[in-house]
Amino acid sequence: MENGSEKQTARRGPATPLPAAEAPFDAIGLARELLRSVRSGALATIDTEDGTPFASLVTIATDVDGTPLMLLSRLSAHTRNLLADPRASLLFSVGGKGDPLAHPRLTVTGQVRKTESQQARERFLARHPKAKLYADFPDFGFFALTPSAGHLNGGFAKAATLTQAELLLDPAIAENLATGEAGAVSHMNADHADAIALYAVTAGEEPGPWRLTGLDPEGLDLLAGDRTARVTFPRPVEDMGSLRKVLVEMASAARSADPSSGPAN
């Protein structure tokens, strides 16, 4: 006859992550923040020789809807693997002090294929300006990972699974901003560097110089040297009109909290 401890052991099985919608924390928000803020991660592909998982380090950006983007060389083993079998996964991890496993990380699975999208190219190079030195080499190309699922570990006792719809933004809404993104980014960097600096500091970042590299319905992507920052909007925006209103509100709120920053534009 089993005693109490044996019964307890028998009942205890592997922990199963909850769907993101049922998680007791903002799993979707955390996953999307990791997607947008991490600039490099581990790409796992399937070796063409024997099917062994092959992991390598790659630089990452995102399209307006959150689709992960990479610039890969055909001479690399991971690219050869992908051209033979597009199935892959990407690990996004911010790291930090202390136990590495105490920090949030996200694994996104899906299929990786080459993209000729000019928008994807511009967003990647804005996030990784040094890549302009080799982006046009004949063996390099831009690739996009179309997610099928995500697995989030937000730290101790925080795990959730995500669907493609939970990882990515509505493509129709994202495209509303994509058409005007380049102009808005250029205008903000040229004429409102002070506001960009305020956004970064208000989000908890150290002073810059910060510059805007991209925007989407949920927030701004900032870059200062090798540092990145993600600034989330107080509410999602759907077009350039609502974007401008939110940016003005955010700058005004930041200046009100810090009068030494000067008057609002």
Q: What is the pLDDT of residues 116-154, one digit of tens each?
A: 999 999 999 999 999 999 999 999 999 999 999 999 998
Which residues lie across from 107 on neighbouring strands? 91, 151
Q: What is the pLDDT of residues 192-249, one digit of tens each?
A: 999 999 999 999 999 889 999 999 999 999 999 989 999 999 999 999 999 999 999 9
| Rounded Cα gap, residues 225 and 9, in angstroms | 51
pLDDT number for residue 156: 78
| Rounded Cα gap, residues 199 and 248, in angstroms | 11
Cis peptide preceding 14, ω within 30 of 0: no
Above 50 in pLDDT, residue 264?
no
Nearest to 117 by CA among 107, 125, 109: 125
**Amino acid in position 118:** Q
Two tokens, residue 89? 């996964």
Length of the chain: 265
